[in-house]
Structure 1
Amino acid sequence: MRTERVSGNGQADRREPKVVVGAAIIANGRVLACARAAPPEVAGRWEFPGGKVEPGESETAALIRECAEELAVRVEIGQRVGRDVRMAHGRSVLRVYTARLLHGDQPKPLEHSELRWLSAAELDTVSWLPADAPIVAALRPLLLSDRSH
């Protein structure tokens, strides 16, 4: 997917969208959901932890960094979940990966107002951010089939 921007001379400038990564951290058949604390327009809505991939950083490295910053946990990144989700009018794309906690780490809500572990049956009990909602649907069968993480 590409976006086009018209430069000052009227030429279309093709750019790849910015990549935002999210971690579907799975343990014992449940996935970690995080309630946004800010900004006010999305506070209380639920998301997967993650953030922007920095220039020169791999998607996996970005996820490992974001999980450490947001939750104070070490994770191992697994497979992609679902498809690319367009965000910010096509300027960004969300890519979510499964992840598992390492070394007995337990997530702490450093940047979120609340954390919850949700089973497949509980996924619809929280109000997901629009970008995360398509991932939730793709995640449900993974939670039902894989309780080993």
Structure 2
Amino acid sequence: MTDVRDDRTRLFGFLRDPATQPQFWARVSDDVYWTVEGTHPLAGRYHGKEAFLDATFRRLAGVLKGGARLEVERIHVDGDVAVAELYSTSTTNEGAPFANRYCWVCRFDGDTIVEVRAYLDSAMVAYAVLRNEAAR
């Protein structure tokens, strides 16, 4: 049987490629509470997986070549909480690296993510989103 840390590492690994991301999102509650910290266009409090995806990943899909791609750097697990340190390997539509780093603090109910607090570089997100959306 897979231990919890291995399971969480495998789960967050699905964020590496938009083709495998549905496997990650399948383990996020439809009723998730997701807070994106910061002062940028994607920051906010979202209730529901679709609201979060519309405001963040789907919006980023329009400004990043091939969409958002996140690699796992570290996973920390304590009880029902997993902290995922991630970094972006995406490129903007302009061809610039979107070298953002993320820290997602995720609370699980069993195997399902029910709450997330996400921290990232606000300036990088604001620049990439606003500049690339304006260019479209």
Q: Taking structure 2 as the reference length, what is the TM-score of the superposition?
A: 0.31
Normalized per residue, which structure has more helix? Answer: 2
Higher relative contact order (CA 8 A, sep 6+): 1
Larger Rg: 1
Q: Taking structure 1 as the reference length, what is the TM-score of the superposition?
A: 0.29
